[in-house]
Amino acid sequence: MGIRWDALLVREVARELDARLSRARLRAIRFDGHSRDAVLFFRELTLVWRLHPQRGAPTLHPPQEPGRNAFSLASRVRRVYAPPDERLLVIELLPLRGLRKATDVVVELLGNQWNCLVTEGEDRILRHVLHTRVGKRTLRVGQTYECPVAMPREGVDGALTRGRWDEVVLAAPKGDRPQALVSQIAWTSTLNAAALLPGPSPAESAEPAVGYSQWLHFASRTSETQPVMLSLPAGSQPYPWPLFNASKEPISSLLEGFASLDTVALGQEVESRDALIDPALLRRVERELDLAGRRITSLVAELEGLEAPGQLRAVGDLILARYREVPAGASEATLEDFDGNPVVVELEAGAPPHANAARYYERAAKSERAQRRLPDLIARARVFAVSLQALATKARAGQATREDIDSALPERARVASQSGPDVVLPFRRYRSSGGLEIRVGRGARHNDDLTFRHSAPNDVWLHARHSAGAHVILRWAGPGKPPARDLEEAAILAALHSKARTSSSAPVDWTLRKYVRKPRGSPPGSVVPDRVATLFVVPDSEVADALLQD
């Protein structure tokens, strides 16, 4: 099982992160839906939050390069907080440039449906989402974010009388008291309820006055308390307060406690540092490792399946020795070997005996060559697989750079990946504030290639009106129009990469790529768009700097 999050733990983790991230500058963020990781790349450090139900813990690491799959989010941390008595953690971000609205990174830690998302502005418009389906909720980029409905409970601010506490705790039957407590009193959970309720024995019980005092202590946070590592039946986990009914060891901080679970995370051999590596790079290494294993298996099977050269030559010798006994045009013949035993020999129908004998001699020579060649190939393949395994281990530990991986992989693996530095694409990549990819042509001779070979029919095509410039493609797979902010940013890039870049306001035409056609014989980059709409934008180079990916 994973970490058991309750409102108390979320609140204290938020306090620690607020102290560590105060005014930190965020560069980019990366969501990996496959591994359920959210990685925030600050200039000062890197925050990895694994949101898999079996390893949902935040860990801090040295600064890392975001990589190509991260989207830019240049901003500064204003504060980190948790709404009272909720399992939500919010990182408030202030834009570094005036054109952008303030954003929030929200981590949801409810049950086992953990998620991370980015909202923008006072309307809390969703810009990036780790999981679009969480329980019965559907989260889509461009929609207004709605927080999960919280269960109203008493005493959120610690203002709960002892009489009301006794009324909730003592009025219910003993077996129902934990449920009554958790459903009605703030800051309680299935994790800490047993420590607040009377138990069957003095060693396992808290008198009502003691339980109330303990609750009041952490609900109103009257003083600092040493966090501990609880030893629970499901495994160890950090907690902000010691619970007398659980084994515990003091720790310096909750974040340090999570870090101690880094190597062996909750009973699984999972290192949280593997989230630091760009998932595309790690997949390239793992794909090559899989191919190397298959190659070894294939080579070994080929070696084991080789025909015996001596037996093949013996058949060739037999055919030549019994030349006159081989039936003309037959596909097989039964010949007597040199020991007087009958042998069935397969023949190529229609070929003369000497040609059939030559075929057996060729097969024998081929088998001998393979016997000499395959062991060396197998040994080299195994050495290469071992090196790839070491590279994968290094990459998962966040210790391999893109250059390390590119230099270790075969040439075909680098060329096959469009994210590799060896491939020069006809466009530059940008990432909108809503997480959509924007492709900007590298010049007139590349515009046609971008528009007609590196885009989909329903992508959005943009070009500065009446100005020479780059074709721009906004990748869009959803129904209807893309979000207005993303479309505007793509239009700004189209204006910046045209002769209208110095204008105070530039018109940019846009339509779906399927409505763009190229007349026969027209010069490079010359197209005719239909069903065109026009946006007027300010060509601001800071927008391009913030959105650039490569």
pLDDT of res. 93? 95
pLDDT of res. 245? 67
pLDDT of res. 138? 84
Contacts of 412 (CB under 8 A, 6+ apart): none
Beta bridge partners of 250: 228
Report the Cα 213 to chain-centroid distance in Å: 44
pLDDT of res. 239? 94
By CB atoms closer than 10 A (0-12, 13-18, 19+), residue 550 is exposed
pLDDT of res. 543? 81
Determine the residue type at 441: G
Extents of the domains making up the chain = 7-153, 279-412, 427-547
Contacts of 95 (CB under 8 A, 6+ apart): 74, 75, 101, 102, 103
Give the C-alpha separation, 242 to 249, whole Å. 9
Topology match between the domains 7-153 and 279-412: no
pLDDT of res. 280? 67
Determine the residue type at 507: P
Tens of pLDDT along the chain (550 residues) come to: 478 899 999 999 999 999 999 999 999 999 987 778 899 999 999 999 988 877 778 999 999 888 777 888 889 999 999 999 999 999 999 987 655 688 999 999 988 789 999 999 988 999 899 988 777 788 888 889 988 887 889 999 888 999 999 898 888 888 888 999 999 999 999 989 888 886 544 444 456 678 888 898 888 887 677 899 998 887 888 999 887 667 889 999 999 999 887 544 433 334 445 566 666 677 778 888 888 888 898 889 989 999 999 999 999 999 999 988 898 888 999 998 888 899 999 999 889 999 999 999 999 999 999 999 899 989 988 998 898 888 888 776 667 766 777 777 765 444 444 444 444 678 888 888 777 889 999 877 789 989 998 998 999 999 999 889 999 999 997 777 888 888 999 999 999 999 988 888 899 999 999 999 999 888 888 899 999 999 999 988 878 877 876 5
Measured N-to-C along each axis, helices 353-396 and 279-304 cross at an angle, to the nearest 10 degrees, of: 150
Assess if CATH 1.10.540 describes domain 279-412.
no
- CATH (residue range 7-153): 2.30.310.10
pLDDT of res. 550? 53
Q: How far from 36 is each of 30, 39, 263, 423, CA to CA, in Å?
A: 10, 10, 18, 29
Helix (H, G, I), strand (E, B) or coil at 126: strand
pLDDT of res. 196? 86
515's tokens = 């409505």
